[in-house]
Structure 1
Amino acid sequence: MIPTNVLDRLFTRLAATYGAAWDRSLGSAPIADVKTVWSHELAGFAPRLEDIAWALEHLPEKCPNVLEFRALCRRAPAPEFKLIEAPRANPERVAQLAQQVRDVVQSTAEKDPKGWARKLQQQHEAGKKLGAHQIRAYRQALGLEGRQSWQ
């Protein structure tokens, strides 16, 4: 439901804009009943009160009924969100991490270039669940499955 204070402000604005035409549009129904109907029809806009504000800024010349006002609210443009810029990476930290990776790769390659494959094979044979791609990769690297030109 639309908050009471919002509905009161809406009715005040419409009354000020349309004057006697607004009063005639309400008819002879009790104002509490009229507000209940308006609140019900505009309930979908409770989380998006800016759509109601937009409709108030784009009122037609003729006094709208609740269905016409709801349709006007639906024509409100979608909110625009500004994207924040991603933080820049610290070039010194990037260079430091890249050097650490190079050092690890180089030391691993010098010791055992297929150590990763042997490690996966040991894990698999010990009963650890591996993905199909991991099994295929270590088997190919160790020459256990299909010969590759680089083997």
Structure 2
Amino acid sequence: MYQLVELPNPWQTKANGRIIRHFPVTLYSDDTSGNVSKKWNKHMSFYCTLLGLPPKLTNQEFNMHFISTSNSASALELGEYLIDRINQSNTEGFEVYDARSDSKVLVMMVVLCHLGDSPMHAEIWNTVNPTMTLNPC
């Protein structure tokens, strides 16, 4: 019935006096190509955008942040490494400089959704029908 609360909060100890910021993002992945046909030079790319921005800013190119690309690794192979790094940021956080407060802050990246076309979702979620996933989150 009762839960032991650890004091001080472990995040307060990790922050060491710094402000903690949560960075919610939308992941986007797709198989893209510089050619007219995806048959040649096909490569997998991952990007993210900051959630909470107004749509007119979210859709601008400078708010779409490149994460990784590969012409030999699949979405799942790239995603495995990416998820490891995101989980690490959620358990340890990472330090960045905040220009507004003129100080270093501790940041945690939180993925709230993953965008992609139907074939990409079918590959990542391991299903032919995107509404019948075998790997629910």
**Same fold, TM exceeding 0.5?**
no
Question: TM-score, normalised to structure 2's length?
Answer: 0.22
**Which one has the largest radius of gyration?**
1
Q: Which has the higher contact order (CA 8 A, sep 6+)?
A: 2
Q: Which has the higher strand share?
A: 2
The structure richer in helix per residue is 1
Q: Output the TM-score relative to the length of structure 1.
A: 0.21
